[in-house]
A and B are shown apart, each in its own frame.
Chain A
Amino acid sequence: MQAKMEQGKRKGKVAKQKETKTDQRLRKETEMAQSRTSGGKLFMAVVYMLATCRAVPINDLLNRASERSDEMYSLSTGLTKDLASHMSPLSWPAMERPALCHTSVLPTPNDKEQTLQVSESALMSLVRSLLQAWAEPLVILSNHASTLPHPARINISNKIQNLQDYSKRLGDGLDILSGKMGPEAQVVSILPYHGGTDLGHDRNSKLQKFNFLLSCFRRDSHKIDSFLKVLRCRAAKMQPELC
């Protein structure tokens, strides 16, 4: 009896093993088939993506970049206005520029004729350099904004954080854009900031430095915006409504 039971068990085991083997084989086969089909699909997807990705025109990219820079510039003008508000003219420190902006060393066109004469790649390079130059100072500004002796500091702090965000996004987009332009667009001049990480010790110097930095930033953001819009208009010859 026992022998029979054992025999039965053995037979059962063997059957199970056979089953598992066939199952494994089946599974492998199905997996291979699936991988083949999925591989084919993946290939097709990649090809399609390449085809469609190639098709994004520079016009669109420039348009988006211009919109970003416009937002950035309007934010910065708002910021300077906020800073100038709530302060009576008497207590406002003298609007003297203590120094040149750290980005003044970069030669940029200053009027329309000069700007229109510069090549597109050179303009793109200027824009990227300017944007890159403000990455660090914006961090300093945002660090000190919350402790600024100014009634609207929370509002200012929020806006500076937004500015950082816009700046980063614009930088990423411009990296992609410059890849589609000439080799000169890849050149990014480094403009280091030497102003130190703190704004000063007393209230007036803090406010003054803050104001100074902000005004420099506003100016540079306007340069960026103007150059990008000129580029956009140049690229969109068939769409005069973009100019």
Chain B
Amino acid sequence: MKRRLGLAVLLMLSAALRCRSASPPGKPVLIGCRSPEKETFTCWWEPGFNGGLPTRHRLFYEKEGSEEVHECPDYWSAGKNSCFFGKEQTSIWVEYSLTVVAFNALGNTSSDLFKIDDVMKIVKPYTPENVTVLVNDTANTPYLCVSWNHPPKVDTKSGWTTIKYELRVQKEDNKPEIFHPNKKNSFKVYNVDPGATYTVDMRCQLDQSSWSEWSTASVVKIPNYFQNEKPFWILVSIFSVIPLLATICIVVLKRKFVKQWLLPPVPGPKIRGVDVQLLKSGRAEDVINALIGNQNFPPAAAWMDQTEEYLLVSDSNDWLLTDPYISQKKKSLVIPAGVQLEIQCRTSAPAQSDCENAEVGKDGKVEPDHLAQTKESVLNVAAPSVSSGSKEAASGNAAGPTGYVGIQQHKGTQGAGPNAAQWDYSWVKEVNGETIFILKNEDAAAGWTVPGWEENTAADYSRVKEVNGDDVVLLQKHDSADSSCKKKEDRSAEWTNQKAKSRHGSDCGKGACLQIAGNGYVDSVPRFYVE
């Protein structure tokens, strides 16, 4: 009996114990909510002790501004113990009040109220997708090219969300660098060191919301270019050092040569024929001799390049026939008696002394040899001869070998008028070329006889063609051309005729009578005539 009672009590106790393990559910706790794209959100809770009985959880929420209680629309999409609020149930800028209630057979338990002030506060996007890092090595300045896609499910087309990215680059174990790319899909990281290892990851944010998780890190190593190129640079440096050393050796060993070649000596000033030492000695005479004495000064007339001969014919200094026109033409000169002939010899070659000699010929010789050299034997001039001791301007006329030349004797000055001069008449001994040999101290007859023409004379003789009256002597300029010789002959005939004519009608009286044609010279053109 007692045993039966004991067993019954035991059974009842065990039954009672079994009944006591079931209890109403424990209080669930809302962990949190999250909106990944600002259009939906999900909330999770933690269930309490279930009381040993199957419990069921339900979520109820209220929206701001209405008292209506809604229940969670979706308990399964987001997993266990979660509630997914879809687009229709989600309102931004609206406060939500959430409660989770656990139900079991014995009762129910509610969680604390969970308020969502603004769905924006629970926005947290997913990580950016496909974060890839490439090492771009152009021209020894490598850089990292990071590219990514927007986080999933986020709307980027309508402007509803603005995504901001953050990029983190960490070199080996240093402090990471943060970058904020402006572009949506790519970013370049410069300032990377070759040979180093970099860790790159990214995260993003929607409209100042919470940041997403960091993406999975990409690790890259930048190849070390410098090491690869080291042997190259070593070779280059070796090959450049060798020629450098060689040039240095050459320069050092051949100092003088190099110096001469680089900096050639500048010649000092030097005067030919002058001894520098002599100048330095300082003696005046030596200096002057050195500077001047060695010079061969060209004759003063050397500068006259043109072979011009001027014949100055002046009658009592009034008649100076200095015409450059002369030099170009063949001329004959008609010189009246009493006219002084002043020879100015202008030739290229000879010394002035020749002319001087022509004037001052002591032995009566006139040697204007140079005259023969002239291109245009302009004038046949009776070179004056000088009686011993006194200067005489040659006056008179060139005559043939048998002619007389009148030589005016100057005493002292040359400017004396014809009246003042005394005339000496000399017999012209010979005309040789252009030289007139005059015999001195011969008294000439009062009259003159005109020598006949000598047609056989050499072309370079100077002749007196005609003496016309007391005053006029026709000088024939001689030239070497045969034609002109012929002309001469013709002219001579003319002249004689003319002379016959002109004797009568001659205007020549005493004093100067000169037919001036043009510029005062009688031209060789057959208009020579004397009236």
Residues of chain A at the chain B interface (Cβ within 8 Å): 70, 73-74, 77, 95, 97, 100, 104, 108, 110-113, 115-116, 215, 219, 222-223, 225-226, 229-234, 240-243
Contacts and interface: CB of A to CB of B under 8 A. Distances in A.
B91 A111 contact: yes
B160 A97 contact: no
A222 B87 contact: no
B184 interface: yes
Interface stretch (B151-159, B234-242, B287-295, B486-494): B151-159
Contacts of A73: 207-208
Contacts of A231: 159
A112 B92 CA distance: 9
27 contacts: A73-B208, A77-B208, A95-B117, A110-B92, A110-B93, A111-B39, A112-B38, A112-B39, A112-B160, A115-B160, A116-B158, A219-B120, A222-B120, A225-B207, A226-B160, A226-B207, A229-B159, A229-B162, A230-B158, A230-B159, A230-B160, A231-B159, A233-B158, A240-B157, A242-B159, A243-B158, A243-B159
B353 to A, nearest CB: 83
A177 B115 CA distance: 38
B505 interface: no
B65 A104 contact: yes
Interface residues on B, range: 20 to 34
B211 to A, nearest CB: 13
Closest 6 CB pairs of A and B: A233-B159, A110-B91, A229-B159, A243-B159, A230-B159, A112-B160
B196 interface: no
Interface in B54-94: 64-65, 87, 90-94
A231 B90 CA distance: 22
B156 to A, nearest CB: 6
A113 B155 CA distance: 12
Nearest to A223: B93
Interface string B425-463: 000000000000000000000000000000000000000
A56 B207 CA distance: 28
Which of A110, A115, A225 counts the most B-chain CB atoms under 10 A from its CB? A110
Given A95-B117, A113-B87, A222-B93, 19 more contacts: A73-B207, A73-B208, A74-B208, A95-B115, A97-B95, A100-B64, A100-B65, A104-B65, A108-B93, A111-B91, A111-B92, A112-B39, A112-B87, A116-B160, A226-B160, A229-B160, A229-B162, A230-B159, A231-B159
B93 A243 contact: no
B42 to A, nearest CB: 16
Nearest to A241: B184
A229 B155 CA distance: 13
Contact of A219 (B93, B115, B158): B93
A153 B89 CA distance: 38
Contacts of B275: none
Given A70-B162, A97-B95, A219 B118 contact: yes
Contacts of A229: 159-160, 162
B119 to A, nearest CB: 9
Given A110-B91, A110-B92, A219-B118, A243 B207 contact: no
Given A73-B208, A74-B208, A112 B91 contact: no
Contacts of A104: 65
Interface in B233-290: none
A234 B159 contact: yes
A233 B159 CA distance: 5
B317 to A, nearest CB: 70
Interface in B163-217: 184, 207-208
Nearest to A77: B208
A104 B64 CA distance: 10
Interface in B27-72: 38-39, 64-65
Contact of B90 (A111, A240, A242): A111
Nearest to B118: A219
A215 B95 CA distance: 12
Contacts of A215: 117
A240 B65 CA distance: 37
Contacts of B118: 219, 222
Contacts of B90: 111
A92 B182 CA distance: 38
A229 B92 CA distance: 16
A110 B156 contact: no
Nearest to A70: B162
A112 B207 contact: no
